Structure formats: structure tokens, C-alpha cells
């Protein structure tokens, strides 16, 4: 299969790209689309055969459910129920964070194919704020299932070029909307009622919408345990080993943990590239990739994270060493991805 990439650099290109993407989706095909978080591999969420193509293209296990994207309240109501006992806080969160990088786990409606939810009676839903994605879903007039546009378990793509590396020859179309603005996948939450005044907001996957941003709306519970491939998933993004480069990756809590093996070559994923952090002079690095040079700004680090990890993975070194990232704000999401990326090598 030949994979076509369409640009969106001007209004004419954008119109052609949107129309082509909608045509593919209406015909039951799959298309890589930009979102604000990472590029998604999209299919009409109400077409079971099209969604099956997502699993096949990604080599994704069918027990790992997909996120369904909606265009607004009317489309949300068509695919999910919002129980009365969490309605107030759910609608408040929707008003506050949609469109944006917040995914809700809600009871599904019968219209959603079982393959999308991996047989669960709940569905993961969000509304993207990416303008290209929004125009496509509005033109399609149907919800879109769209997990990350990469081979299952590998590094998530934040550019059309990264999608091409992952899925060229496997999918028919990539819409190039430029680099993603957030850089890590959406926050996934489940809202539960509580006998106390504040509801419980369970964070099943950390992301751009941080615990600090959510805490005024309810009591925050963070999911501390990930699952292996023999466990029962309750939402997307829960597998323990995920987001992984092909090169072995190790996260060091401190420089003292590094033991040099002279027979190996190493690359460093640095948070801010400062010598005082103690990592830069541990060895003669083949390459150093810095997420937020000098200042250590977590949002900048998040935007550069998957790009930098992919760049290091392409070097052919024996091992990637990563500095730790402060686990506050979106740093919690970056460290979540780092821990899971390194899990298979530990």
C-alpha cells in the first residue's frame, strides 16, 4: 500500500486534505490525523470493521480499548451516558476543559461497537481542540476512534514524519497538521460519586490536564499501578510496558546509580541540560538530547518528549539513560511515560 501525506499549509491544501480524510473515513478506511496531544490513527467509531483495521494496523491487542472523539455535547450524548450522580461535576469539567486533552470514562450506549470498548460497558470519550481534527469530525458527522498513530507499544508520534516512520505502507493517508502542541497523550479520568461533598476524580492516565488543575473539582485519586497484558483493562493507556523505544532505556533517580560499562555506547535524555544536576559528565555520551534547555520548563519538556525519545532511539546506541523529571504538573505525565517506556528493560 502506498501512503499519501497531505499538507495543510494554506487554505487550499487544508480543504483538499479535509475532504480527502472525510472521504476515506466515510468509506471505512483509516487515516492518521493531528490532534493537540499526539497524532491519532482515526476511523469512524461506529464502523466496527473500520475500527478493526486500527487494531490490525497498529498490531494492538484487542483487549486495549480505543478513545472515541466527539464534536460536542450532542455527539457525546449519542455514544455515552452521564449518570445523574456525577452529572454536575462531569458537565462542569466538560465546560472547563473541552475541547482539550481530557478523556472521560463513561457508560457506553449500544451504538458503540464492542470492538471499540474491548467488550467493556464503558467508553473513553474526549473532544480535541485541534482545528483540523475538529473540521474533519464536523464534516464526517460521526464520532471518531483515534488511538495514537504508531505501532502498538512504541513511541507515540507528534509529527506526520513520525507517523510515516511507524506506518508507511500500512495506512493510506496521513494529514500533516504540523507538530502537536501538547506532546503527551490526554489525561484519562473516571468520576465517581462520594458520600462527602466532593466527588472522586480517579486519574487513570496522567496527561496535560494535571491533578493541580482538577483538584478544585473533586478529591483526586491517582492510579499508581499499571497493568500487564494478562490483566483486565478498564480504560485505554493502562498497560505497564508502553511508549517504548527499541533501544533499552533506563531512568536514573540520581547520578550515583550510573555504572559505566566501557563496552557500551550511551545517549542521555536530559531534563534541562545543566551540569549541576550531575548527569552531563557521567560518561562520554554519544548524544545528549535536552527537553527544556536551561530553564527546565515542564510544558516545553512535554512538547519535546516523544520527539527527543524517538531521535535518541534512531542513534543505534546500546542504552538510553534518562534523568528523572519533577513529578509535578505535566511532569507527572512525562515520568509516567518514561517509567512505562523503561519497564520492559528492567
Each residue of 144-202: pLDDT tens digit? Answer: 999 999 999 899 999 999 999 999 999 999 999 999 999 999 999 999 998 877 899 99
C-alpha 156/C-alpha 160 separation (Å) is: 11
Q: Where are the domains of the chain?
A: 4-176, 249-343
| pLDDT band of 230, cuts 50, 70, 90 | very low
Distance of CA 312 to the CA centre of its chain: 19
Q: State the average pLDDT over residues 81-104.
A: 98
Half-sphere exposure of 196 (CA within 13 A, CB side): 7
What's the average model confidence in pLDDT over 299-319? Answer: 96
Mean pLDDT of 67-96: 98
Query: What 3-state class would DSSP assign to 306?
Result: helix
CB burial of residue 20 (10 Å; 0-12, 13-18, 19+): middle
Question: Looking at the domain 4-176, which fold is it?
Answer: DHBP synthase (3.90.870)
Instruction: For residue 143, give the DSSP letter.
Output: -
Antiparallel, parallel or unpaired: β 200-205 and 187-192: antiparallel
Q: What is the DSSP string of 83-129?
A: -HHHHHHHHHHHHHH-SSSEEEEEEBPTTS-HHHHTT-SEEEEE---
Whole-angstrom distance, CA of residue 158 vs CA of residue 162? 7
Torsion of CA 113, 34, 19, 41, to 10 degrees: -30
* Predicted local distance difference test score (pLDDT) of residue 282: 96
Q: For residues 108-120, b (16+ Cβ closer than 10 Å) or e, as one string?
A: beeebbebbbbeb
Distance CA 98, CA 71 (A): 10
Whether residue 345 is predicted with pLDDT greater than 70 in this model: the reply is no
249-343: CATH topology: Rossmann fold (3.40.50)
What tens digit of pLDDT does each residue of 5-40 get?
999 999 999 999 999 999 999 999 999 999 999 999
> How confident is the prediction for the chain on average, in pLDDT?
93
d(CA 89, CA 86) in angstroms, rounded, equals 6
Amino acid at each position: 500500500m502506498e501512503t499519501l501525506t497531505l499538507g495543510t499549509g494554506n487554505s487550499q491544501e487544508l480543504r483538499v486534505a479535509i475532504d480527502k480524510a472525510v472521504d476515506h473515513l466515510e468509506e471505512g478506511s483509516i487515516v492518521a490525523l493531528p490532534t493537540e496531544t499526539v497524532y491519532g490513527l482515526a476511523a469512524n467509531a461506529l464502523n466496527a470493521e473500520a475500527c478493526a483495521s486500527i487494531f490490525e494496523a497498529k498490531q494492538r491487542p484487542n483487549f486495549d480499548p480505543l478513545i472515541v472523539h466527539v464534536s460536542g455535547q450532542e455527539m457525546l450524548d449519542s455514544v455515552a451516558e452521564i449518570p445523574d450522580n456525577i452529572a454536575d461535576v462531569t458537565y462542569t469539567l466538560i465546560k472547563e476543559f473541552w475541547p482539550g486533552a481530557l478523556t472521560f470514562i463513561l457508560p457506553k450506549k449500544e451504538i458503540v461497537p464492542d470492538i471499540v470498548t474491548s467488550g467493556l460497558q464503558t467508553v473513553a470519550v474526549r473532544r480535541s481542540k485541534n482545528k483540523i481534527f475538529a473540521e474533519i469530525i464536523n464534516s464526517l458527522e460521526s464520532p471518531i476512534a483515534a488511538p495514537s498513530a504508531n505501532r502498538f507499544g512504541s513511541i507515540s508520534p507528534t509529527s506526520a514524519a513520525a507517523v510515516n516512520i511507524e506506518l508507511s505502507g500500512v495506512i493510506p493517508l496521513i494529514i500533516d497538521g504540523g507538530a502537536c502542541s501538547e506532546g503527551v497523550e490526554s489525561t484519562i479520568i473516571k468520576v465517581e460519586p462520594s458520600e462527602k461533598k466532593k466527588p472522586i476524580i480517579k486519574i487513570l492516565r496522567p496527561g496535560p490536564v494535571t491533578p493541580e488543575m482538577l483538584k478544585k473539582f473533586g478529591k483526586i485519586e491517582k492510579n499508581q499501578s499499571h497493568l500487564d497484558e494478562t490483566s483486565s483493562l478498564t480504560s485505554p493507556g493502562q498497560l505497564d510496558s508502553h511508549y517504548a523505544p527499541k533501544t533499552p532505556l533506563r531512568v536514573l533517580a540520581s547520578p550515583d546509580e550510573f555504572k559505566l560499562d566501557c563496552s557500551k555506547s550511551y545517549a542521555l535524555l536530559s531534563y534541562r541540560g545543566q551540569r549541576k544536576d550531575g548527569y552531563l559528565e557521567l560518561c562520554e555520551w554519544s548524544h545528549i538530547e535536552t527537553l527544556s534547555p536551561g530553564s527546565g520548563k515542564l510544558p516545553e519538556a512535554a512538547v519535546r518528549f516523544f520527539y527527543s525519545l524517538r531521535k535518541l532511539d534512531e542513534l543505534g546506541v546500546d542504552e538510553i539513560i534518562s534523568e528523572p523529571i519533577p513529578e509535578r504538573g505535566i511532569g507527572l505525565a512525562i515520568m509516567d511515560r518514561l517509567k512505562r517506556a523503561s519497564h520492559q528493560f528492567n
